[in-house]
Structures are given as structure tokens and as C-alpha cells.
Structure 1
């Protein structure tokens, strides 16, 4: 693809990184809109040659591609505002990076939805994660979208406009809830007296994730998949009370999947299902120690903050 003149509206954790990736691919990000102090710092670090301008001026400077990477709920308003001021021009490609929205947020403006299926922190290391990832794409011009995603080292996954919320829900369910699950497991280990939960969890969870991606439900192991009702009951009775609801919800869903996939025979699941059906999150327990939130910037999955 010929070199594009690009503008980025929203130099958040996603927009600034994608702008840097476009520069590295031989395109030229000439302008960016960055409002917060964090966004300005990001733009200065990742897009040093881009002029920091108001959004309408960024749109006017972006003769070929305007990348809109603002929070999901703001996209339609940003596009409408730019159209109203005459900042958008014929022949200019306008793209947003939301996973949940399709083309409806563009109104009468021709555009495309390009969502990188990756978590972002806004750090330089994010650039190293882009090669080989999938991009959830909804676009009338598939040729242009394919070339643009290829320039960024990715592979397009074509998502029908009406299915984008389902697509994005799957990513949020997998990535965001995984973070919650891992941290809950770490909290419970601390309650058991383990000082470095990450040392215990990293090899176990890495293997479990690899097995799940390769083997699907056949990767299920542990007491629920074996129907060990006594062990599960002991877990529920002794673990910290604030972790019980999550454990219980996941155990019930794990039992459903284990039975449906044939990992657990229905006749062997009766006692387990009875324990799960009658368990409550108010079992007597000790309190898990309070954890300190990390000081690094929280990641996001494909939308700027």
C-alpha cells in the first residue's frame, strides 16, 4: 500500500500505539488530538513528529486516513461533530477502533471498524504484541482494510456489523475476566499464607491456557471435572467469603461444560451438583488480605481511554 497521510483523534492507550505502528509500517502520522496530560505524554513519546491539534484540525490534516480511537460512547458524537464542521472530506478513509461498534456510529459518513484483538497499556512494548494478532473488521472496502491490517502485521477477521457486540463481549469475557480470575486466585493463595502467588500460578495458568486453546473442554481437570463433591464442599467452607461467589459461579458453569462434553458422567455428578445447588456465599471463613493495586496503567482491549 502507498504511504498514507494519517491523523489520530484520541492519543490514548490504543490510538497512540496504532499511530506508532502505522509510522513503523511506512505511513506518516502528521497530527494527533491529545487532551489529557497522559495522552500528551504518550503522543510525545510514540508520535514525536505529529502535531498536537484540535480534532477538527487533525481531520483536515489527515488527507488519507483518519483514525478515531476514543471511548466507545464518544465515537458517534466525534464523527458527527467533525462532519458538521466540514473537517471530513471525500476520499478520506475514516476508521474507528471500537470492538463493540460497527458502521452505525458513522451516520452518513463512510467509514470502517478496525478493532485489534489485543490488550493495550500505552507502553512501547505494546508494539511488539501487534504482529500476528487478529483484527475484527467491518468495512465496505475489504481490499483497503485487508492491506491496512497487513501493514500492521495483522490478520483480518470479518465481523458482521450486527455481531460486533457479541464479538467484543467474547474478548472482554476472555481477557478482562481472566485478569479478575487470576487476581482472585492470587488473593486466595495469600489467604492460605503464600507470599508470592505469581510464582505458584504462572506455570500452572500458562499450561492451563495453552491446553484450553488447543484442546477446548478436553483440557478440563480438577475436582469439578471429576465430580469430587467433598473437595468442592471443603473449598466453599474454608475459602475467603468474598471469593466464594466467583468460585461458585465458575464451578457451576464448569460442571455444565464437563457434563456436556462427556468429561463428567451425569450419574457421577449428582453429589457435586447438589453441593453447588445448595451452597451460599455466606459460609464462615477468614478474610482475605487487602491487595495493593499495581501502579502500572491498567490495560484496555481495543478502545482508548
Structure 2
């Protein structure tokens, strides 16, 4: 595969390096940022090319820009008459469907989306963890996408284009909102007198233990704590003491925990005592 990169950010640079290692040919890169190109060239010695040079020379074109720029790139390629029949245009957005590249109905290109389900802090970090990363694959040539992901050392998952926003929302909940939950827990520890820097350090092993349980036993078995036990009095105590700004968040999470708790007990052939279940639902607003 001869490929080109438009947008020399972390993802584009890491993809170029890994695909080259897998035996594919990187023809070059096009980027507006001189600093991004200098960083790119520090990892892979390829020329910066104008679109007129890059696009006709490749059979796969990766658009690894910010989401809002992706359709603008496609429009620019059309405006410059840089549309190569049969070429595959690929973007790496988690929230946008591959069809965002099809800015005209009759474009003779095939569109594909490959989204790495991972948070990359730097190019170095991306190169360390790209192998083993799960990818959402969606578009007109999903088999090619699956092959590319495997060449990257990744694990492909085909997703529905019509529901891709929900896929991305799930990724945001699992990654970004995990940091938000940690912040909420640190706030509560601080209210209890533990300095914030100590609070995070003390919470991380607990969070890592939960992640380990998720990996080891999965859902819903990894759920522990007062709602899993059906301890309504503990939940009431929490709600009595919580700062008002956190109450509704706690209740929403608690209702989801109660769903998991019911599933966990069902697998074990058990159920919550009716009085206990009603009390928990009443406390949590369910």
C-alpha cells in the first residue's frame, strides 16, 4: 500500500511510522504546521509535499486532522480536482462517520474510518501502545480497514455508521469521564480533610483495583460496594452529607449501579429483597 498523510499530529505520525514498519510505503505528508512536520520528520524521514504532489501518488490517503477540518480537506481536494478514482480516503475521527469525506455523491473514491480507541499523550506514547489498541472500523471497504488495523498491531471492531456518535459517547464516558469521576472523588476526600494531592495518590490503587476486576471478571461481576450489597443505610448517609452540586451525579450513577447489582444477583440466582430494593430506588430517585 502506498499511503499519504494529511495532518502530522500525534495519530498521523504514529500511523505513518507503524505502517512503514509493517512494509507499507509512506509517500509523504502534507501539513499546515511547520512544527508538526519537524516532529513528524523526527520519526520518519519523509518529504513534506503539496497536495498536488501527494494525492496522485498514493492509493490510500489518511486525513488525520482535527474533526472539524476533515470535511474541509475533502472539499479542498474536490476543488483542486485531486480526486483519484478508486482511491481510499481514510479519517481517524471517533465521532464522525466515514461518509463525512463524501462531500459529493458521485465521488469515485471509497471512504473509510479507523478510530483508535485509546488516548495518546504523545507520539512516543502512541508508538508504545498502538499495538494492542482496539479500533472502531466503519466505511465502504471495511475489510481493507481490518487489514490495516491488524498491520498496526491493533484489534478491529466493525461499528454501525448510523450509531457512531453513541460509540464515541461510550469512549468519552470510559476515558474522559473517568478523570471526571476521579476529580469528584478527590473533592469528597478534600471535604473529609485529606489534601488533594494525597487524595489522588490514595484513590489510584482503588481505581486500578476496579479496572483489574473489570479485566478479570467483567460486568456485572466487577461491581462492589454498598449498592451491590444492598446497603441502603450507607447510601442514605452519603446523600445526607454530599455537597448539593454532587447529589444528582451520585444518584444517576447509583441508579446505574443498581441495574448492575440486579444483573449480578440474577446471574447468582439471587435478587434484592423487595423492601431493600424499594428503599434504594427511593433514595436514588428511580
What is the TM-score normalised by the length of structure 2? 0.83
Change (3 A) 1:156 1:147: same
The secondary structure found in structure 1 opposite 2:84 is: coil
What 5-or-longer segments of structure 1 have no aligned partner? 279-305
Contact 2:86–2:110 (CA<8 Å) still a contact in 1? Answer: no
Structure with the larger helix share? 2
Alpha-carbon distance between aligned partners in 2 of 1:45 and 1:188, rounded to the nearest angstrom: 44
Alpha-carbon distance between aligned partners in 1 of 2:230 and 2:134, rounded to the nearest angstrom: 37
The secondary structure found in structure 2 opposite 1:32 is: strand
1:206-255 CA-partner distances (Å, limit 9, x unpaired): 12122234330122111122232222222233344443332222112212
Q: Describe how 1:99-110 pairs up with structure 2 within 5 A.
A: 99-107=94-102, 108=107, 109-110=109-110
Alpha-carbon distance between aligned partners in 2 of 1:5 and 1:85, rounded to the nearest angstrom: 21
Following superposition, the deviation at residue 95 of structure 1 comes to 0.8
What 5-or-longer segments of structure 2 have no aligned partner? 266-270
Aligned CA RMSD, in angstroms, stands at 2.6
Following superposition, the deviation at residue 67 of structure 1 comes to 0.5
Alpha-carbon distance between aligned partners in 2 of 1:229 and 1:41, rounded to the nearest angstrom: 58
Q: Describe how 1:5-24 pairs up with structure 2 within 5 A.
A: 5-24=2-21
Alpha-carbon distance between aligned partners in 2 of 1:134 and 1:76, rounded to the nearest angstrom: 25
Following superposition, the deviation at residue 36 of structure 1 comes to 4.4
Aligned length: 273
What is the TM-score normalised by the length of structure 1? 0.78
Give yes or no for the alignment of 1:202 onto 2:204. yes
Contact 1:227–1:268 (CA<8 Å) still a contact in 2? Answer: yes
Alpha-carbon distance between aligned partners in 1 of 2:86 and 2:276, rounded to the nearest angstrom: 64
Q: 1:217 aligns with which of 220, 225, 240?
A: 220
- Runs of 4+ residues deviating >4 angstroms: none
Matching residue of 2:71: 76
Contact 2:71–2:101 (CA<8 Å) still a contact in 1? Answer: yes
Q: Describe how 1:146-295 pairs up with structure 2 within 5 A.
A: 146-195=146-195, 196-213=198-215, 214-262=217-265, 264-277=272-285
Alpha-carbon distance between aligned partners in 1 of 2:63 and 2:176, rounded to the nearest angstrom: 23
Alpha-carbon distance between aligned partners in 2 of 1:58 and 1:188, rounded to the nearest angstrom: 57
Change (3 A) 1:187 1:19: farther
Give yes or no for the alignment of 1:87 onto 2:65. no
Following superposition, the deviation at residue 82 of structure 1 comes to 0.8
The secondary structure found in structure 1 opposite 2:26 is: strand
1:121-164 CA-partner distances (Å, limit 9, x unpaired): 23302211111222211243344323211110012212232232
Alpha-carbon distance between aligned partners in 2 of 1:121 and 1:57, rounded to the nearest angstrom: 32
Higher relative contact order (CA 8 A, sep 6+): 1
Change (3 A) 1:85 1:267: same
Change (3 A) 1:147 1:171: same
Alpha-carbon distance between aligned partners in 2 of 1:100 and 1:164, rounded to the nearest angstrom: 6
Contact 2:8–2:31 (CA<8 Å) still a contact in 1? Answer: yes
